[in-house]
A and B are shown apart, each in its own frame.
Chain A
Amino acid sequence: MSQVIKDGKDTIIFATKEDHQSPSKVILSPPEPSPGLIFPDGSINWNCPCLGGMATGPCGVEFRESFTCFHYSKEEPKGMECREKFTAMWTCMDQYPEVYTEGLKDDEEFLNKEEQAGETIKNKEANS
């Protein structure tokens, strides 16, 4: 059973698990909307923290143009027409290795993993 202790203006309840097992009768209003990268209407939220400094850094404009192009692309495969914009973005990013290096490094790791995965598959094939 839960216990209640009164200490002046402060009240303390030690609640047992059993006591708290039944659902709360309190009904909350829905949480504040918290858009991610894409707003419900499909537009891009450039203020998304998930972007870190991407949209605001030295290649922010190039990044936005590339991503906008890709996001709204109707081509098949998607983003085919954005090659130029991406090239501009990479060219820009190459000028700021300190800002963008870590991403590249991650990328290499990813590459290696891909290769490794490929090898594993090959090995498996060889074994089977």
Chain B
Amino acid sequence: MLSKLRLLRPPVSPGSRILNAWENKNYSDKKNGRGKTTPPLIQDEFSTNPKSPTTTHSSESENNNGWQNDSKNNQSFRNWSLFGGAIILSGTVYGIYHFDIMKQKKDDNLITEENTNAKKIRKLVQIPSLSESIPDNIQYLLIGGGTASFSAFRAIKSADPTARVLVISAEGYLPHMRPPLSKELWYGDDTEMAKSLNFHQWNGTSRSLFYEPEPFYTPVEELTTAKNGGISLARGWKVESINVSKKKVKLNDGKEISYDKCLIATGSVPKTLKLYDDANEELKNKFSVFRSISDFEDLWEQLGHIKSIAIIGGGFLGSELAASLANKGKKNGVKIYQIFKEKGNMGKVLPKYLSHWTTEKVRNEGVEVVTETEVENCSLENNKRQVNLKLSNGKNISVDHVIMAVGAKPNTELATDAGLEIDSKLDGYLVNSELQARTDLYIAGDCACFYDKQLGRRRVEHHDHAVISGRLAGENMAGAAKPYQHQPMFWSDIGPSVGYEAIGIVDSSLATMGVFAKGNHKDPSLLANETDQNTLTNKKETNEELVSKNNESISENDYNKGVVFYLKNDVIVGIVLWNLFNRMSIARQVLKTNRCYKDLNEVAKLFNIHGDSS
């Protein structure tokens, strides 16, 4: 009994980049802290004023304040056990617990499927089935059930322990994280695990895509009467309109709900191609977008019986998915094409040379990457089993399936009726730096166009931003009145050899300065003159490319690890940490200085690019 008391050590970042922004610190990510001792939960409690490990520029370590080593953990354990306590800081710490999603889904009878021509039609089942069960008025109303909303309800409940929070989600699933859908879930050999939406994190532990299991949520019927309030979900329900002056929303069946505070966190919807919009149903069935769990499940299943897929789009999603599917489809001989109009993968994000380098990596994964090309037309062929894509480079490609990864559009359909302003340039609901659109109405996540006092007006479509903005909105809804200050980061993993994290404005149209670790391999002086100041022309780069073809290992070493600064008027506005982890807080500090540096190589030194990449 005594040892029921459990102060579980939170994995430094197992939950990883996923939950990273939750705390006002960046202990991030998946690759961070690899091999480090994971700090336990409670520290300050037992060792007053613990000295955080301080190296001048230690990145994550200083942020791990509050963490101790194992022996200290046991110490805290003993202290707690004195009164026979059982604190089960369960796996909920970072949600490492596993629960049987499959069972849950079955229980929920959440989604029924029908087969029509090869393409699944999913019917959403509403929970609760009748809107009468949903309260008529609620203290906190959150529209949307994604990451921003999850982050908001945590913040609200933390600030206001007996808060009554109602989440109305058009999605049928419990709140979950999306990043692993195009990454981790495709790696690993355990099919059952992936099907149950569990995945391995960098540190070997596994976790569910879902933030919390179903019993975490208060049944919606009990929300008004529950002694300590709670967080309830109305799934499969959609808010049709908001009356901001009357502080009321209307559901798709006409039911009205009054709120004290409301959050719009409706995320974004995948864009489609015009040629798809114009196509007939039969042809449309060969196309899909990729965003939700259902999209993942459909694609997973399809991969079992199709032989070729074309991914259109060269951004984050397209590139991650191309590498992931190539890896997954290797055994079955599935051919993956990636087609996009940029010159290289992530061409809008990474400087040209790095984008090209990434494309080579994606090709090494077995993907046939077709650059600077658009799809001009498409038609069914081979007895309607395949799609023929007519490309702008004059070629034709026949594939069994096409995935459109051509970006997303913020879901702002509530704006017009509510009289909310949409940013004409960046799209998204216009909000102030407190994420407020109107009195008692807040916006967070993909669909918020907010004011960042350092980098100006922005809209960000990344997981970490959803976490940070959701939390901030939640805190402000509970009365905090804080501005947006903490810069979100984002990350991408493209196959096993490319992983990066970034912060700030990362746009390849900006001037950049990349500092890479020169390896101990064969002297690459072949590529450039060896002087500190010698600058070379583009011609040299061509030489370099030539050499890189002759000697892959040199080229690999060249951009293996490093840091890239993005500059606007010589001021650093964005930073990419290339295959370099555990350094995000340094990047955040550098960005914060908001100044012009004469010698960026000196700034690069802060990142210890020759050190252990994790």
Binding site for B on A (CB under 8 A): 1-17, 19-20, 22-26, 28-29, 31-38, 42, 46-58, 60-61, 63-64, 66-67, 70-71, 77-80, 82-83, 86, 89-90, 93, 96, 98-104, 106-107, 110-111, 114
Instruction: Decide: B80 and A10 in contact? CB cutoff 8 A.
Output: no
- Contact A49/B514 with A28-B589, A34-B63, A80-B83 known, Cβ cut-off 8 Å: no
Instruction: Decide: B216 and A58 in contact? CB cutoff 8 A.
Output: yes
Residue of A nearest to B100 (CB): A98
Is B596 an interface position by the 8 A CB rule? no
Residue of A nearest to B537 (CB): A6
Contact residues in A for B79 (Cβ distance below 8 Å): 77-79
Is B65 an interface position by the 8 A CB rule? yes
Is B535 an interface position by the 8 A CB rule? yes
Residue of B nearest to A13 (CB): B515
Besides A12-B516, A14-B528, A106-B8, 18 other A-B contacts (C-beta < 8 A): A3-B530, A10-B353, A11-B511, A34-B23, A35-B66, A37-B42, A37-B66, A38-B42, A50-B66, A51-B89, A52-B10, A54-B89, A56-B154, A56-B158, A82-B83, A90-B86, A101-B97, A102-B97
Instruction: Decide: B92 and A32 in contact? CB cutoff 8 A.
Output: no
Within 8 A of A (CB), among B521-568: 524-525, 527-538, 540-541, 544, 558
Residue of A nearest to B214 (CB): A98
- Can you list 14 residue pairs at the A/B interface with Cβ under 8 Å? A3-B529, A10-B352, A15-B517, A25-B599, A26-B590, A32-B25, A38-B42, A50-B89, A61-B161, A83-B84, A90-B86, A106-B91, A107-B88, A111-B3
> Which of B24, B515, B520, B592 lies in contact with A34, CB distance below 8 A?
B24
Instruction: Decide: B535 and A28 in contact? CB cutoff 8 A.
Output: no
A8-B608 Cα distance, complex, nearest whole Å: 26
Chain B 66-98, CB-CB to A under 8 Å as 1, else 0, gives 110000000000011011111111111111111
A29-B594 Cα distance, complex, nearest whole Å: 11
Candidate in A57, A86, A101 with the most chain B CB atoms within 10 angstroms: A57
Binding site for A on B (CB under 8 A): 3-6, 8, 10, 15, 19, 22-26, 41-45, 57, 62-67, 79-80, 82-99, 153-155, 157-159, 161-162, 211-216, 218, 228, 230-231, 351-353, 471, 475, 486, 510-518, 520, 524-525, 527-538, 540-541, 544, 558, 585-586, 588-590, 592-593, 597, 599-606, 608-610
A111-B231 Cα distance, complex, nearest whole Å: 33
A108 nearest CB across to chain B (Å): 9
A88 nearest CB across to chain B (Å): 11
B203 nearest CB across to chain A (Å): 16
Contact residues in B for A57 (Cβ distance below 8 Å): 92, 212, 216
A59-B510 Cα distance, complex, nearest whole Å: 50
Contact residues in B for A6 (Cβ distance below 8 Å): 535-537
User: 5 closest Cβ contacts across the A-B interface?
Assistant: A36-B66, A103-B90, A34-B25, A102-B97, A103-B88
B600 nearest CB across to chain A (Å): 8
- Contact A32/B87 with A6-B535, A52-B93, A107-B4 known, Cβ cut-off 8 Å: no
Contact residues in B for A42 (Cβ distance below 8 Å): 44
Instruction: Decide: A1 and B82 in contact? CB cutoff 8 A.
Output: no
Instruction: Decide: B158 and A46 in contact? CB cutoff 8 A.
Output: yes
Contact residues in B for A33 (Cβ distance below 8 Å): 24
Instruction: Decide: A4 and B532 in contact? CB cutoff 8 A.
Output: yes
- Contact A78/B82 with A38-B44, A51-B93 known, Cβ cut-off 8 Å: yes
> Which of A17, A32, A80 lies in contact with B24, CB distance below 8 A?
A32
Instruction: Decide: B601 and A52 in contact? CB cutoff 8 A.
Output: no
Contact residues in B for A26 (Cβ distance below 8 Å): 590, 597, 602-603, 605-606
Instruction: Decide: A79 and B24 in contact? CB cutoff 8 A.
Output: no
Residue of B nearest to A95 (CB): B215
Residue of B nearest to A97 (CB): B215
A77-B192 Cα distance, complex, nearest whole Å: 48
Instruction: Decide: A80 and B516 in contact? CB cutoff 8 A.
Output: no
> Which of A11, A60, A106 lies in contact with B90, CB distance below 8 A?
A106
Instruction: Decide: B213 and A99 in contact? CB cutoff 8 A.
Output: yes
> Which of B63, B153, B530, B532 lies in contact with A56, CB distance below 8 A?
B153
Contact residues in A for B216 (Cβ distance below 8 Å): 53, 57-58, 96, 99
> Which of A22, A60, A82, A104 lies in contact with B4, CB distance below 8 A?
A104
Instruction: Decide: A10 and B589 in contact? CB cutoff 8 A.
Output: no
B376 nearest CB across to chain A (Å): 30
A90-B8 Cα distance, complex, nearest whole Å: 16
B198 nearest CB across to chain A (Å): 13
A79 nearest CB across to chain B (Å): 4
Contact residues in A for B19 (Cβ distance below 8 Å): 49
Instruction: Decide: A24 and B605 in contact? CB cutoff 8 A.
Output: yes
Candidate in A20, A77, A114 with the most chain B CB atoms within 10 angstroms: A20
Contact residues in A for B471 (Cβ distance below 8 Å): 47
Contact residues in A for B541 (Cβ distance below 8 Å): 5, 7
Instruction: Decide: A38 and B66 in contact? CB cutoff 8 A.
Output: yes
Contact residues in A for B98 (Cβ distance below 8 Å): 102
Instruction: Decide: B512 and A24 in contact? CB cutoff 8 A.
Output: no
Instruction: Decide: B87 and A66 in contact? CB cutoff 8 A.
Output: yes
> Which of A7, A13, A101 lies in contact with B352, CB distance below 8 A?
A7
Instruction: Decide: B83 and A52 in contact? CB cutoff 8 A.
Output: no
A46-B513 Cα distance, complex, nearest whole Å: 41
Residue of B nearest to A32 (CB): B24
Residue of B nearest to A73 (CB): B83
A86-B517 Cα distance, complex, nearest whole Å: 54
A108-B526 Cα distance, complex, nearest whole Å: 61
A77-B159 Cα distance, complex, nearest whole Å: 30
A7 nearest CB across to chain B (Å): 5
A89-B471 Cα distance, complex, nearest whole Å: 26
Instruction: Decide: A5 and B535 in contact? CB cutoff 8 A.
Output: yes
Contact residues in B for A36 (Cβ distance below 8 Å): 43-44, 64-67
Candidate in A8, A19, A38, A102 with the most chain B CB atoms within 10 angstroms: A102
Instruction: Decide: B353 and A7 in contact? CB cutoff 8 A.
Output: yes
- Contact A4/B157 with A58-B216, A86-B86, A107-B6 known, Cβ cut-off 8 Å: no
- Contact A52/B586 with A57-B216, A106-B6 known, Cβ cut-off 8 Å: no
A5-B79 Cα distance, complex, nearest whole Å: 59
Contact residues in A for B44 (Cβ distance below 8 Å): 36-38, 42
> Which of B23, B540, B610 lies in contact with A5, CB distance below 8 A?
B540
Contact residues in B for A71 (Cβ distance below 8 Å): 45
Instruction: Decide: B63 and A17 in contact? CB cutoff 8 A.
Output: no
Candidate in A1, A16, A56 with the most chain B CB atoms within 10 angstroms: A56
Instruction: Decide: A79 and B82 in contact? CB cutoff 8 A.
Output: yes
Instruction: Decide: A12 and B514 in contact? CB cutoff 8 A.
Output: yes
Residue of B nearest to A16 (CB): B518
B360 nearest CB across to chain A (Å): 16
